[in-house]
């Protein structure tokens, strides 16, 4: 099975976390996001354990909220002793409302507004990850006015090509994020930062991309970043004590994908950091990693009901379902691959390639093309696997579709963690 948390029961129904998907669909309706809680907790524990076992100076696992953001996620992170990345005042608000400690938040963003920075200062966010010089000087001034000193990282663009889809690659020189290493900007900016009174540079940050399957790009990145820390020490006599390596660890969307498991990524990255710091005679920095997708994507699936099957002889068969780009825009955005199953006859033989299409008034609203499914008809239940990341988080109200609920399952028990939006919720801000 593509997802470890799924099984097929005697009735031939797809199950997740010990719950029968046909019963979940009947109880909560479709479209429906379902997530297996123990898969999330296990991934967080693997990252933490592997970091602690393989790296003497410890570190932190900061889940990238943007992958999956609602209050229950922050409660789980807190229970598991993890921290969190946030990229907007809205994510900060969600975290704080869930009781998550502000000092365990890392605030990212390449276009932070004054209001964002004000929110972060007032809340006492642990680290503000400064993306560019304009932000740096605005933050210094605002912190000064507030009588504070902001603890920051600088986001560096190390120029590592992680061989992945160009729309989700962010470590390149051609990137809207961060301060570019190649053209010599970085040391000049760091020199300037060190002169400022109301920001304290605690460390450096980088994030090289997403859905990366090898450990090599991360090893290479660790070496580049530690070399930069050694350069900072040699040039300015300042030893930075924290290094944030970002996220981007890959997951299995298709049977043919072969990601490393969370522990293996961390083991390789930790030992590379150890070896390299020793060589450069740097004290081991506190390591931060920011996995998003790899924590939540393999925990989730989305259930849809088939509304209509349209067969166009010699062209293709469309299986039209009751959700689509409003709850999962990833196919229309960048042809994201997914594995699909017929959840109510999960053991039936596949019959031929079909296109599973969404319900939005937009021809490009497809969930997946060329998928092999058993013959299906109106009323059948389709499961799209590995949708725990960047689905609920990317949902829109296109065509005034209310957002589906998120249901957590665990050992045969189900509970709603985000309610289904009502039609009145859609009107909340209309005057």
Binding site for ligand PLP (CB under 6 A): 64, 66-67, 85, 108, 207, 210, 246-249, 290-294, 389
Give the 3-state secondary structure of residue 394. Answer: helix
Alpha-carbon distance of 424 to 165, in angstroms, equals 39
Beta carbon of residue 343, minimum distance to ligand PLP (angstroms, whole number): 26
Indicate the residue among 64 and 342 with the shorter CB distance to ligand PLP. Answer: 64
- Give the residue numbers annotated as catalytic, written as ranges: 361
What Å distances lie between residue 282 and 51, 158, 225, 226, 409, CA to CA?
19, 19, 12, 8, 45
Indicate the residue among 209 and 358 with the shorter CB distance to ligand PLP. Answer: 209
Indicate the residue among 31 and 292 with the shorter CB distance to ligand PLP. Answer: 292
Going by C-alpha positions, the residue among 161, 159, 166 that lies closest to residue 206 is 159
Beta carbon of residue 246, minimum distance to ligand PLP (angstroms, whole number): 4
Going by C-alpha positions, the residue among 85, 39, 47, 44 that lies closest to residue 301 is 39
Beta carbon of residue 157, minimum distance to ligand PLP (angstroms, whole number): 11
Token representation of residue 46: 């693997």
Beta carbon of residue 375, minimum distance to ligand PLP (angstroms, whole number): 36
Indicate the residue among 289 and 381 with the shorter CB distance to ligand PLP. Answer: 289
**How many other CB atoms sit within 10 Å of the CB of residue 267?**
18
Indicate the residue among 291 and 405 with the shorter CB distance to ligand PLP. Answer: 291
Q: Pairing state of beta strands 32-36 and 406-410?
A: parallel
Beta carbon of residue 212, minimum distance to ligand PLP (angstroms, whole number): 8
Indicate the residue among 20 and 290 with the shorter CB distance to ligand PLP. Answer: 290
The b/e string for 297-334 (b: 16+ C-beta within 10 A; e otherwise) is bbbbbbbbbbeeeeeeeeeebbbbbbbbbbbbbbbbee
Give the 3-state secondary structure of residue 170. Answer: coil
Beta carbon of residue 217, minimum distance to ligand PLP (angstroms, whole number): 12
Q: Are 305 and 343 in contact (CB under 8 A)?
A: no
Q: Are 86 and 393 in contact (CB under 8 A)?
A: no
Indicate the burial class of 148 (C-beta count within 10 angstroms; 0-12, 13-18, 19 or more).
middle
Alpha-carbon distance of 329 to 392, in angstroms, equals 10
Those residues whose C-beta lies under 8 Å from the C-beta of residue 78, and which sit 6 or more positions away, are 98, 99, 100, 101, 104
Going by C-alpha positions, the residue among 175, 169, 152 that lies closest to residue 212 is 169
Length of the chain: 431
Indicate the residue among 186 and 354 with the shorter CB distance to ligand PLP. Answer: 186
Beta carbon of residue 318, minimum distance to ligand PLP (angstroms, whole number): 31
Indicate the residue among 41 and 66 with the shorter CB distance to ligand PLP. Answer: 66
Beta carbon of residue 155, minimum distance to ligand PLP (angstroms, whole number): 7
Alpha-carbon distance of 314 to 269, in angstroms, equals 50
Alpha-carbon distance of 91 to 64, in angstroms, equals 10
**How many other CB atoms sit within 10 Å of the CB of residue 86?**
30
């Amino acid at each position: 099975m593509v997802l470890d948390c799924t099984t097929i029961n005697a009735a031939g129904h797809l199950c997740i976390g010990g719950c029968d998907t046909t019963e979940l669909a009947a109880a909560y309706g479709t479209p429906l996001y379902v997530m297996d809680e123990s898969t999330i907790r296990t991934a967080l524990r693997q990252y933490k354990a592997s970091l602690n076992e393989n790296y003497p100076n410890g570190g932190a696992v900061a889940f990238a909220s943007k992958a999956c953001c609602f209050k229950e996620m922050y409660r789980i992170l807190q229970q598991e002793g993890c921290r969190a990345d946030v990229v907007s005042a809205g994510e900060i608000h969600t975290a704080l409302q869930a009781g998550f400690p502000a000092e365990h938040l890392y605030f990212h963003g390449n276009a932070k507004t004054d209001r964002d920075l004000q929110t972060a200062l007032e809340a006492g966010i642990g680290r503000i990850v400064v993306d560019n010089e304009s932000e740096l000087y605005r933050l210094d001034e605002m912190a000064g006015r507030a009588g504070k000193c902001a603890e920051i990282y600088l986001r560096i663009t190390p120029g590592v090509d992680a061989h992945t889809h160009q729309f989700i690659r962010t470590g390149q020189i051609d990137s809207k994020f961060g301060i570019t290493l190649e053209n010599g900007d970085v040391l000049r900016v760091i020199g300037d930062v060190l002169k400022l009174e109301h920001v304290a540079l605690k460390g450096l940050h980088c994030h090289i991309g997403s859905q990366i399957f090898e450990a090599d790009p991360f090893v290479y990145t660790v070496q580049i970043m530690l070399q930069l820390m050694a350069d900072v020490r040699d040039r300015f006599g300042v030893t930075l004590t924290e290094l944030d390596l970002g996220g981007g660890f890959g997951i299995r969307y298709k049977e043919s994908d072969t990601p490393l498991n969370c522990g293996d990524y961390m083991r390789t990255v930790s030992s590379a950091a150890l070896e390299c710091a020793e060589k450069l005679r740097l004290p081991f920095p506190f390591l931060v990693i920011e996995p998003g997708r790899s924590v939540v994507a393999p925990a989730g699936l989305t259930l849809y009901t088939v509304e209509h099957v349209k067969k166009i002889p010699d062209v293709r068969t469309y299986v039209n379902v009751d959700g689509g780009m409003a709850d999962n825009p990833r196919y229309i955005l960048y042809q994201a691959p997914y594995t699909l199953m017929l959840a109510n006859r999960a053991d039936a033989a596949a019959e031929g390639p079909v296109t599973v299409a969404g319900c939005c008034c937009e021809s490009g609203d497809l969930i997946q093309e060329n998928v092999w499914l058993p013959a299906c008809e109106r009323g059948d239940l389709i499961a799209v696997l590995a949708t725990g990341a960047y689905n609920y988080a990317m949902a829109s109200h296109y065509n005034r579709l209310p957002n589906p609920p998120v249901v957590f399952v665990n050992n045969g028990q189900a509970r709603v963690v985000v309610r289904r939006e009502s039609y009145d919720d859609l009107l909340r801000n209309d005057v």
